[in-house]
């Protein structure tokens, strides 16, 4: 029986541009989600980390809340590369440069071990 990977990072941080394309993907995110930075940065949408059925509703709501309130924070279920799902606290904030919004920063704090899809 395959052993579950132990996650040592308490949180992971991923940033994206206004279109949702990943722009920064730290080593702790790679450990948590299973994709390498080369697979993700500039190539993947942050929607890939969410359950497909949640993308049409959760993602627009969290982006809108982050922009309007300055922060979105909620318990959600996210997905690893291997399809394992895990509960986490997701915090999303808008990012600004020179007074203009340029993207979003998401911090994921896993709440338990991954479970199979």
Q: How confident is the model at residue 116 (pLDDT cuts 50, 70, 90)?
A: low
Neighbouring residues of 56: CB distance < 8 A, sequence distance ≥ 6:
none
Residue with tokens 């993947």: 44
pLDDT at 115 over 60: no
Q: What is the per-residue pLDDT across 76-107, written as a single tens digit (0 to 9) for each?
A: 999 999 999 999 999 999 999 999 999 999 99
Distance, CA of 105 to chain centre? 9
d(CA 30, CA 12): 8
pLDDT at 11 over 80: no
* Extents of the domains making up the chain: 12-110
The architecture that CATH gives domain 12-110 is 2-Layer Sandwich (3.30)
């Amino acid at each position: 029986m395959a052993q579950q990977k132990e996650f040592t990072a308490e949180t992971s941080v991923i940033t994206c541009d206004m279109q949702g394309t990943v722009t920064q993907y730290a080593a702790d995110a790679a450990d948590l989600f299973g994709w390498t930075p080369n697979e993700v940065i500039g190539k993947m949408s942050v929607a890939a980390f969410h359950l497909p059925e949640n993308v049409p509703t959760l993602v627009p709501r969290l982006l809108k809340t982050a922009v309007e309130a300055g922060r979105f924070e909620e318990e959600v279920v996210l997905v690893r590369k291997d399809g394992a799902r895990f509960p986490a606290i997701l915090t999303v904030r808008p990012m600004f440069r020179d007074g203009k919004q340029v993207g979003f920063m998401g911090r994921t704090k896993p709440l338990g071990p991954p479970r199979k899809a």
